[in-house]
Chain A
């Protein structure tokens, strides 16, 4: 404690060398309300403070439901407009827009630009699209942080959209080749001979799959193997899934999910609630057959995240700019890391790798974190990550660390539900996680929050978020 307080002196804002005793007293008062932190704040001298002004999202809906007839940029537009409404931001005050997406609609490959124009942002505001599987909007946000930190922008909108109700289904390669040659064929004879070369088999379409390109393994299959590798039982998975749905329902009912905006869907009613939250019973869940590894697998439809349509958006600014514009920021966006590992056997272990790394970077320990928001791809994946984080052997053998980082305490973990229950529109989830951390810190009164997520390709991400003093 003495060593800790000495350290505080250096970074403490009101520090006074002559009145050490006062500092000590003050500290003890602050800390009596809260557990002792390794650091009072993560602000660094000479580094710009970057803040989350606000964040919103459309309701996350199961794909093929109310959003079914939209296009991806329509959803993105809804999120962007919602952000403008929520913040009252003048449209021309935005310097740049970065948006994430995973399964691309080929007509709107730069969906950021199409959505921004449609949402009424100034046509003078450039926009680009990023993709990094399930951490695409995390990438959008950290790109924004980079632009601001480098002094190139002051106000950036970041977000992500995923639209699984319609995905690009292609003709087979052979058919595509024939069709492209047809365009170039000059004579009728050449065209006819090309048409004649088409066989029934060429008409079979190519469907996109949630599978790794490098290993051809579907993500659910990998999750099932991961769960087995860490000895996660079916029961544990079902219990965790039930917990996610139960907490989400509670959060929805008590109005905690304030990031959700209402959206008038063209031709349909106004939507203002996520529709995938369905707390079931353990008995009902136990009845389901495994979805990927049959017959002995443990990953089922009930303990996996479902295909979801949705979009999210956040407004990120330098602290000075936000204050100058009269905003009351919600949180500081602090250190972040990206990690990557073996896409076959460690596809979904991103949080395990990213968490200790980002904590180290921040100089914090797991105990300093008040709020955890982890992306729940599969219940089995979350449980495997928790077990990996709790294992010294894993840390030493695979991560080259001396000791485990430790598993987050469950009472601080995804306490307003998660991707399993709220839904997981791939590229929109990252912003939901960050906004939820900010809201939970405000509501629950903590100081530091941690976001972590896994992504296809064996990648992962984590970010430390600090509550904005209220």
Chain B
């Protein structure tokens, strides 16, 4: 308590961030009661003692610990009571927010009489002010007589206390600035008037509902329930609204989607840690070979993390294109104001573009991203090994070539590792790291450390054709080609896949990956795994490549791409090719044909030890290949769908198509014993 202002400092001693837990709710209610009982207190400041975090939202573990919907409903009602208490406070409350303020944290901040925010994360602080969520912004401070973090919180508290005092004395008017939509008084009037008709309201609910359905394909239940809650609140008053909200919240918490998403969250947290320990030598200088899409993409996510990055190509044109890609990537961020033009320039100063091996004697890690051809990779590896210092790691970026084959010509195979980035590198979160029997633990630790610094979610898998991700994707794409050959239109195929929850349809995905790459991979993996990888005819892809239909990058693939145009037409010439390889349709259950092959291959990877655990398998599939997040990944899907039911479906497909649908042993084991689950 500072004079007539009570300062409530929230600090969860057991966690890095504050979350809305039962304990915190209880304490908050107690503190509020105490404050209202104290006549000396005129106003309140709510602040977090943790730098960079106000309240991160509800405590996931708390929700996970509940076994029934009623329990969660109870929790939700308790939370509502606390918020109500804050909202109806007779004394002004200032929420002094430093850093992330999410979910329930925001709810706590919102009703407070006067809010302040510091550095936002998902919504930048200045935007939050424009949206009317907060009233006053406080800048972060630099070095002073204490550490900047400590002093910034102190400063925020000082300013908040002054504001609270001003509010209590009515020196600061309590005009809640409305959001943009209501900033115009006249507009607001009309809005209120129109909203008074139930018919209009019904129309609005319908419109919103349709929008939600279009975006979620009905796969995510929460947004629809939120609309219901708002509806209940508006039509039947706040009490009914709160009741519906807490009941829905309870039900939602128990859905498989909720479990899947919470599982993904925990998995992602796991994959943001380096389980191989701290590397002996920190990588400072990174040399990237090949300035193509991948190479330049890797360069882009490296320069802004402070790596001194050498980007080498063999031709001036290639290098120039690559450097332009890095510049454009950073400049787009400048245009969106997420970085300043000065930051862009200083990041770019970490980039050295060159055609020779100058400076490679000082490189700590090489990431090779040259053409996917074993002989070229060999040539490059030998050439580079002659230039680099003994400690330097050689990482190869390939989507299918076995690392041990590439490492075969190396003089130091313990320093060779696979780093499979996903395109576009700056957008895709996943990095698949592939270790061979000979890769040393320190090399792995170093590769993981570099990946983490580049902001990636990382899975570390064993070596083998296609590793994990490509190996799962290949059979699904082979099946997709078969489906296309059966005469299913690419748009229809896309609709079916996105309808299952994939963010990108199968035909579009093939175009994005590149038809040439797909053909290459299909052929390689076909050789390695035999008929299990059959399905569609590889010749379809090869013929498309011959005609120059390499996907988005060549302007034509399954679709036709025109710069500046969002609309895509189906490539009729590709349809002609498909027509010439036409198969008769044999099973219409397209979705499960695609997904079961994906899932079976994933389970096989775990069985063969390519995968270390199901968590990484789920993360890799969701973040690298767009496996439906609402299903939580192939392993969680098997758990929730039921291995027995999946096996049953596959046996049916097996009869029609053959061994591509033979379930693997591990899957059969799970089908036999329902108590076996990949996730507990």
Residues of A near any B CB (own CB < 8 A): 213-216, 221, 225-226, 228-231, 293, 295-296, 342, 344-346, 384, 387-388, 391, 393-394, 397-398
Q: Is the beta-carbon distance between A346 and B143 smaller than 8 angstroms? A: yes
Given A215, A229, A391, which contacts B148 in the complex, CB threshold below 8 Å?
A229
- In the complex, what distance in Å separates the CA atom of A213 from the CA atom of B145? 27
Which interface residue of A225, A387, A398 has the most chain B CB atoms within 10 A? A225
B351-375: CB near A (< 8 Å → 1, else 0) gives 0000000000000000000000000
Q: Is the beta-carbon distance between B342 and A215 smaller than 8 angstroms? A: yes
Q: Is the beta-carbon distance between A228 and B155 smaller than 8 angstroms? A: yes
- In the complex, what distance in Å separates the CA atom of A231 from the CA atom of B147? 12
Given B141, B145, B163, which contacts A296 in the complex, CB threshold below 8 Å?
B163
CB within 8 Å of A: which of B143-182?
143-148, 151, 155, 159, 162-163
A-B contact pairs, 24 of them (CB 8 A): A213-B342, A216-B340, A216-B342, A221-B139, A225-B139, A225-B142, A228-B141, A228-B144, A228-B155, A229-B144, A229-B148, A229-B151, A229-B155, A293-B139, A296-B136, A296-B159, A296-B162, A296-B163, A345-B143, A387-B144, A387-B145, A388-B145, A394-B143, A398-B143
Given A230, A293, A342, which contacts B144 in the complex, CB threshold below 8 Å?
A230
Q: Is the beta-carbon distance between B342 and A214 smaller than 8 angstroms? A: yes
Q: Is the beta-carbon distance between B148 and A345 smaller than 8 angstroms? A: yes
Contact residues in B for A384 (Cβ distance below 8 Å): 144
- In the complex, what distance in Å separates the CA atom of A454 from the CA atom of B159? 28
Q: Is the beta-carbon distance between B141 and A225 smaller than 8 angstroms? A: yes
Contact residues in B for A295 (Cβ distance below 8 Å): 136
Contact residues in A for B342 (Cβ distance below 8 Å): 213-216
Q: Is the beta-carbon distance between A394 and B145 smaller than 8 angstroms? A: yes
- In the complex, what distance in Å separates the CA atom of A230 from the CA atom of B142? 9
B528-548: CB near A (< 8 Å → 1, else 0) gives 000000000000000000000
B138 proximal to A (CB < 8 A): yes
Contact residues in A for B155 (Cβ distance below 8 Å): 228-229
Contact residues in B for A393 (Cβ distance below 8 Å): 145-146
- In the complex, what distance in Å separates the CA atom of A344 from the CA atom of B142? 8
Contact residues in A for B140 (Cβ distance below 8 Å): 225
Given A221, A342, A391, which contacts B145 in the complex, CB threshold below 8 Å?
A391
- In the complex, what distance in Å separates the CA atom of A393 from the CA atom of B151? 14
- In the complex, what distance in Å separates the CA atom of A318 from the CA atom of B143? 42
- In the complex, what distance in Å separates the CA atom of A391 from the CA atom of B146? 10
Contact residues in A for B162 (Cβ distance below 8 Å): 296
- In the complex, what distance in Å separates the CA atom of A228 from the CA atom of B138? 11
Q: Is the beta-carbon distance between B340 and A226 smaller than 8 angstroms? A: no
Contact residues in B for A213 (Cβ distance below 8 Å): 342
Chain B nearest Cβ from A466, distance in angstroms: 33
A216 to chain B: closest residue by CB: B340
A397 to chain B: closest residue by CB: B143
- In the complex, what distance in Å separates the CA atom of A402 from the CA atom of B163? 40
CB within 8 Å of A: which of B285-302?
none
- In the complex, what distance in Å separates the CA atom of A230 from the CA atom of B139? 14
Q: Is the beta-carbon distance between B340 and A229 smaller than 8 angstroms? A: no
Q: Is the beta-carbon distance between A230 and B145 smaller than 8 angstroms? A: yes
Chain B nearest Cβ from A296, distance in angstroms: 5
CB within 8 Å of A: which of B100-150?
136, 138-148
Contact residues in B for A346 (Cβ distance below 8 Å): 142-143
CB within 8 Å of A: which of B32-52?
none
- In the complex, what distance in Å separates the CA atom of A296 from the CA atom of B145? 20
Closest 3 A/B residue pairs (Cβ): A345-B142, A229-B144, A229-B141
- In the complex, what distance in Å separates the CA atom of A387 from the CA atom of B138? 22
Contact residues in B for A293 (Cβ distance below 8 Å): 139
Contact residues in B for A230 (Cβ distance below 8 Å): 144-145
- In the complex, what distance in Å separates the CA atom of A346 from the CA atom of B163? 27
A214 to chain B: closest residue by CB: B342
Contact residues in B for A225 (Cβ distance below 8 Å): 139-142
Chain A nearest Cβ from B351, distance in angstroms: 19
Chief secondary structure at chain B's binding surface: loop
Contact residues in A for B136 (Cβ distance below 8 Å): 295-296
Chain A nearest Cβ from B331, distance in angstroms: 16
- In the complex, what distance in Å separates the CA atom of A216 from the CA atom of B339? 12
Contact residues in B for A388 (Cβ distance below 8 Å): 144-145
Contact residues in B for A221 (Cβ distance below 8 Å): 139
A232 to chain B: closest residue by CB: B144
Contact residues in B for A216 (Cβ distance below 8 Å): 340, 342
Chain B nearest Cβ from A276, distance in angstroms: 29
Contact residues in B for A229 (Cβ distance below 8 Å): 141-145, 148, 151, 155
B152 to chain A: closest residue by CB: A229
Contact residues in A for B148 (Cβ distance below 8 Å): 229, 345
Chain B nearest Cβ from A211, distance in angstroms: 12
Chain A nearest Cβ from B343, distance in angstroms: 9
Contact residues in A for B142 (Cβ distance below 8 Å): 225-226, 229, 342, 344-346
A229 to chain B: closest residue by CB: B144
- In the complex, what distance in Å separates the CA atom of A312 from the CA atom of B266? 66
B343 to chain A: closest residue by CB: A214
- In the complex, what distance in Å separates the CA atom of A215 from the CA atom of B142? 14
Chain B nearest Cβ from A454, distance in angstroms: 14
Q: Is the beta-carbon distance between B138 and A296 smaller than 8 angstroms? A: yes
Contact residues in B for A231 (Cβ distance below 8 Å): 144-145, 151
Contact residues in B for A344 (Cβ distance below 8 Å): 142
Chain A nearest Cβ from B471, distance in angstroms: 48
For the complex with contacts A228-B141, A230-B145, 14 further pairs of A-B residues with Cβ separation under 8 Å are: A214-B340, A225-B140, A226-B142, A226-B144, A229-B143, A229-B144, A230-B144, A296-B136, A296-B162, A296-B163, A344-B142, A345-B143, A346-B143, A397-B147
Chain A nearest Cβ from B145, distance in angstroms: 5
CB within 8 Å of A: which of B325-363?
340, 342
- In the complex, what distance in Å separates the CA atom of A286 from the CA atom of B68? 61
- In the complex, what distance in Å separates the CA atom of A165 from the CA atom of B434? 66
Given A215, A342, A345, which contacts B340 in the complex, CB threshold below 8 Å?
A215
A390 to chain B: closest residue by CB: B145
- In the complex, what distance in Å separates the CA atom of A221 from the CA atom of B137? 13
B151 to chain A: closest residue by CB: A229
- In the complex, what distance in Å separates the CA atom of A393 from the CA atom of B147? 10
User: Provided the pairs A213-B342, A296-B136, A296-B159 are in contact, do residues A345 and B141 lie with their beta carbons within 8 angstroms?
Assistant: yes
- In the complex, what distance in Å separates the CA atom of A201 from the CA atom of B478? 54
B159 to chain A: closest residue by CB: A296
- In the complex, what distance in Å separates the CA atom of A45 from the CA atom of B342? 46
- In the complex, what distance in Å separates the CA atom of A394 from the CA atom of B143? 8
Contact residues in A for B159 (Cβ distance below 8 Å): 296
- In the complex, what distance in Å separates the CA atom of A216 from the CA atom of B345? 14
Chain A nearest Cβ from B342, distance in angstroms: 4
- In the complex, what distance in Å separates the CA atom of A293 from the CA atom of B144? 18
- In the complex, what distance in Å separates the CA atom of A229 from the CA atom of B151? 6
- In the complex, what distance in Å separates the CA atom of A317 from the CA atom of B148? 46
Chain A nearest Cβ from B334, distance in angstroms: 11
Chain B nearest Cβ from A150, distance in angstroms: 33
A296 to chain B: closest residue by CB: B159
- In the complex, what distance in Å separates the CA atom of A345 from the CA atom of B139? 11
Contact residues in A for B146 (Cβ distance below 8 Å): 393
B143 to chain A: closest residue by CB: A398
B140 to chain A: closest residue by CB: A225
Contact residues in A for B340 (Cβ distance below 8 Å): 214-216
- In the complex, what distance in Å separates the CA atom of A388 from the CA atom of B145? 7
Chain A nearest Cβ from B347, distance in angstroms: 13
A341 to chain B: closest residue by CB: B143
A387 to chain B: closest residue by CB: B145
- In the complex, what distance in Å separates the CA atom of A221 from the CA atom of B142? 12
Which interface residue of A213, A215, A345, A346 has the most chain B CB atoms within 10 A? A345
Chain B nearest Cβ from A301, distance in angstroms: 20
B142 to chain A: closest residue by CB: A345
- In the complex, what distance in Å separates the CA atom of A230 from the CA atom of B145? 6
- In the complex, what distance in Å separates the CA atom of A384 from the CA atom of B143? 11
Chain B nearest Cβ from A384, distance in angstroms: 8
Chain A nearest Cβ from B607, distance in angstroms: 54
Contact residues in B for A394 (Cβ distance below 8 Å): 143-145
A217 to chain B: closest residue by CB: B139
- In the complex, what distance in Å separates the CA atom of A148 from the CA atom of B232? 85
B162 to chain A: closest residue by CB: A296
